[in-house]
Structures are given as C-alpha cells and as structure tokens.
Amino acid sequence: METTKTLTRGEELRRTLAYTRKNGYDRLTAAELTELEDYCTGYKQFLNLCKIERECVEQSVALAQAAGFRPYARGMALQPGDKIYSVNRGKSVIFAVMGQEGLEQGVNIGAAHIDSPRLDLKQNPLYESDELSFLKTHYYGGLRKYQWVTIPLELHGAVALKDGRTISVAIGSDPADPLFTIDDLLPHLGAEQSKKPLGEAIPGETLNLLVGSRPLSDDEGSDRVKLAVLEILYRQYGIREEDFLSAELCAVPAFAARDIGLDRSLIGAYGHDDRVCAYAALKALLELGTPRRTAVCVLADREEVGSDGVTGIKSGAFDAFFADLCQGQGVPLRAMYEKSFCLSADVTAAYDPNFADVYEKRNSALVNYGISVSKYGGGRGKSGASEASAELVAYVRRVLDEAGVVWQMAEMGKVDAGGGGTVAMDVAQRNIDTIDAGVPVLSMHAPYETVGKLDCYETYRAMKAVYEA
C-alpha cells in the first residue's frame, strides 16, 4: 500500500511544471513486455531474411499478401478498407490501406528506407593476384572502412542476363554455404598502418573480397585460381565473367540477428538502419482496420546515398503512385499532398557513454527511452534538412501521448559534431508536413548495430498511432 504524504513545494512544482524523461521499462506493463518480446522475435526473423533492399521488398510483399494486400494497377477502383501495394523495380515498395475519408483530406504516411550500408561489387570485379582470387568492391553509403575487414561476409543480389532472365544470388544465407572475407594486416607487420588516422588506415581499393585460392589443375596460366572460380560460378549459377557487367551483387555481413546482453534487452544485427523502422512501419500498417484517413507505408531505396535515383524517394515513382490514387477520386495531387502528414521513420544515434564527448546528453536519444522524435536533422547550423514546425511537433506529441507511446525528443550528437539526413526533406519538399522519428542505434552504420528492444516496439506503436490519427 502506498501512503499518501504531503509534497514539499519543490516536489509539487517538479511534478506539475518540470519535464523529465523516464526510462521506458518504468512505464511498461507485464502484458506490454510480453508483446514487446513477441514483436522483436518477428523483427529478428524479418532481418535474417532481408540483407538487401530486394529481399526486403520480397519479404514485405509476402507479409502484406498474407494480410490481404493485392498489387495496385493504375485505374483500379478502390473502396475504403482496400489494401494495396505497388513495387518499384523490385527495390522499393509502397503499401496503402484506403481510408473512410477521401484523398482530399490527405493521407498519413510512414516512410522508412530498406537499403543499408554495404560493399557493392564493381562491374569488372573478378581478378587473381599471386594465386588468390578476389572481387573488387565499391562501398555503398557512409561506412567506416576499418570495420568491414576480417568479418564474415555473404554475397547477395541479382545478375541480369542479356536474355532477360535475372538470377538471384544469396551465398551465405544457408548455413551450409561458404562465406567471404576481406583480409587485414597482422599486428606484427602493422606498425606503419597503425600510425595512420582511422579513416585512412583501410583505403577503399583494398576492400577486396577473398573468393578463392585453389588453382585449376592441369593448367599453367597465371589465372588458374580465377578460372576455377569462374567454373564454379558457371556450374552453380550459369554466370560467365561478362555477366558481372549487368549484376548488382552486395557483400553484406554474415551476422544473424541475436539478443544482446545477459538481460536480453537489446538486439544485435546488420541493417537495423533502417529495417528496424521499415518493419515497424510495415507491421503497424498490416494490422490496420479501415483508418479514417488513408494510411500509407513507403519503404524506400537509396536513402544511404542521398535518395537520388529511380528507386529513391526523390523519384517520380512516389508522385506517380499518389497521382494515380488521386485520379481515381478526382482529387488534384497537390490538394492531397498539402493535407498529408508523414512520419519519416529513420534511426538516430543513441547516446553512447563510451563516446560521451560527441553527444549533448540533454538532447540525445537514450536507449530504452522509446522512439526518438527529431524536430530537425542536418548539420552546420541545421543545414541540409527540413524542420517540422512547432505546430506539427505539438500534433505529434498529442498523437503519441494519447496512444500511450514511450517517446523522447532528441537530435543527433552535439552541435557541430557532424549530422545526418533522412528522407524527411525530400517528402517535405512535396508540400507534405513531415517529421523525423525512429529507433536510437548504438554503432550505427557498423556491420553489427545494436538497438534496444523497447525502442523497436515503441516505434511500431508510434507508427500505429500515426496511421490511426
């Protein structure tokens, strides 16, 4: 039994006027903790099947089809409650649940990205050097090169052939498969390398994937190891060396999503950025009934390289999808956009006590404090980002608080420590009110990133609240 005692004036003011953040674990009920665990189990399964954006699209569509979604075709008649999706070139996808209200009332969008930093193969990748065979890579997205050597890597992607067929590749996803790696110097011979700044110690052109060492027998050429690799590729995939020209193959970390910590409160995995928000945005949409406003989940490609390109969120494919929906209701696209709301769901840097000097703790996202909302992103005086208005932040406060979501307000790092962008500004440029929010991540962009389970679950609950608003 709690005893009632008279509060001092200070305690009273602290309670009524001051704002203090609370650890989410002090707020969740036992039932919510069970649901959190179930949600994270589903998320880990999703992650293990999704190492590249193509796989994310396939898995998302499979989940959506199981939930009654069907492919949208231009001109299709739609009713409130209809569930549709539209895939853009196999690499990005938009899902929608048609609302009770017309599109002139705007839509609620949850936008996340499904591409993650990785090492792409170059178009002429295969070579042999001193009887070892390698594949040359060109890194994709902002990564710290020293983190990508001496770890197990898988090879995922597609090889498009001249005859129109596309061969899917996922070497390493089966435990019986071989893996790949990039070698590094041993400490015994690394004295000079160790003197270099971290960013220069591993040059981009040394990120070469080791793929073979066994020479072709009965041959004297200087490319015997390479030829043996080519023979395996042809036997197993029907691929010739020339086919690399029209391939997109990505070396990605071979780490499965696993619980981290004795208390199992965290998840370690490759690609939390931004599949942790993508899964939340998708799962919440798949569980919707018929919302008041049409609810839309956008899973975009190419965010890690600035969202440019035909499958990035800057692409006209985004506008074409909404224009087609609007045409079906005789609503001008611009009228829909100006009434719409978008939660740009993307991860942010979690405050890391091991690197406290790049953070300003009062305004940093803390692990287990829930989904982190950011009024603005960017760097060097808020440049290169959009900023949500005070009124929009107030709207989001209301939506999240009414749904009981555990959330926090933060920005990435201390002033002038760096910065980062999301799809928010590209959506906002369409005249759509947009705000950033997402899961705080430790070791963001590393081959193995860590997130708090509570924050994953609260991001899903936030997405639900946004769609239902």
Interface positions with Mn ion (CB under 5 A): 273-274, 346
Among residues 82 and 346, whose Cβ is nearest to Mn ion? 346
**In sequence order, what DSSP letters do the residues of 59-128 get, joined into one string?**
HHHHHHHHTT-EE--TT----TT-EEEEEETTTEEEEEE--SS-GGG-EEEEEEE----EEEEEEEEEEE
Which of 246, 337, 303 lies closest to 92 in space, CA to CA? 303
The residue among 274 and 411 lying less far from Mn ion, judged by its C-beta, is: 274
Spatial contact of 95 and 282, defined as CB atoms under 8 Å apart: yes
Please say which residue, 145 or 226, places its beta carbon nearer to Mn ion: 145
**What stretches of 377-452 show up as alpha helix (H) in DSSP?**
390-402, 424-428
Cβ burial, residue 221 (10 Å; 0-12/13-18/19+): exposed
For the CB of residue 142, give the shortest distance to Mn ion in the complex, in Å.
Answer: 7
| C-alpha torsion angle, residues 316, 100, 397, 452 (rounded to 10) | -70
Is the distance from CB of 343 to CB of 423 less than 8 angstroms? no
Minimum distance, C-beta of residue 467 to Mn ion, in the bound complex (Å)? 20
Pick the closer one to Mn ion by CB: 83 or 113: 113
The least distance separating Mn ion from the CB of residue 456, rounded to whole angstroms, comes to 15
The residue (of 113 and 375) whose beta carbon lies closer to Mn ion is: 113
Closest CA to 456 of 36, 21, 23: 36
Residue at 121: amino acid letter:
L
Residue type, 5: K
Report helix, strand and coil shares of the chain as percent, to nearest 5: 35, 25, 40
Shortest distance (Å) from residue 311 CB to Mn ion = 15
- Pick the closer one to Mn ion by CB: 82 or 455: 455
Query: Residue 302 or 430: which CB sits closer to Mn ion?
Result: 302
Alpha helices in 333-444 (DSSP H): 333-339, 390-402, 424-428
Shortest reach from residue 446's CB to Mn ion, in Å: 11
Largest CA distance in the chain: 92
Closest-by-Cβ residue to Mn ion is: 274
Is-contact 290 96, C-beta < 8 A?
A: no
Provide the minimum distance between the beta carbon of 118 and Mn ion in the complex, in angstroms, as a whole number. Answer: 11
Instruction: Find all residues with CB under 8 Å of 167, minimum gap 6, and list them.
Output: 158, 159, 160, 161, 237, 238, 239
Please give the Cα distance from 178 to 328 (Å, whole number).
50
Minimum CB separation of residue 444 from Mn ion in Å reads 7
Residue 15 phi/psi, 5° resolution? -75, -40
In the complex, what is the shortest distance from the CB of residue 271 to Mn ion, in angstroms, rounded to a whole number? Answer: 10
Task: Give the residue with the Cβ less far from Mn ion, 53 or 82.
Answer: 53
In one letter, which amino acid is 54? R
The smaller minimum CB distance to Mn ion, of residues 32 and 274, is found at 274
Pick the closest to residue 161 from 251, 245, 52, 227 (CA basis): 245
Taking the least distance from each CB to Mn ion, the nearer of 44 and 118 is 118
Q: How far is the CB of 273 from Mn ion (least distance, A)?
A: 4
C-beta of 37: minimal distance to Mn ion in Å? Answer: 25
What is the closest distance, in whole angstroms, from the C-beta atom of residue 234 to Mn ion in the complex?
36
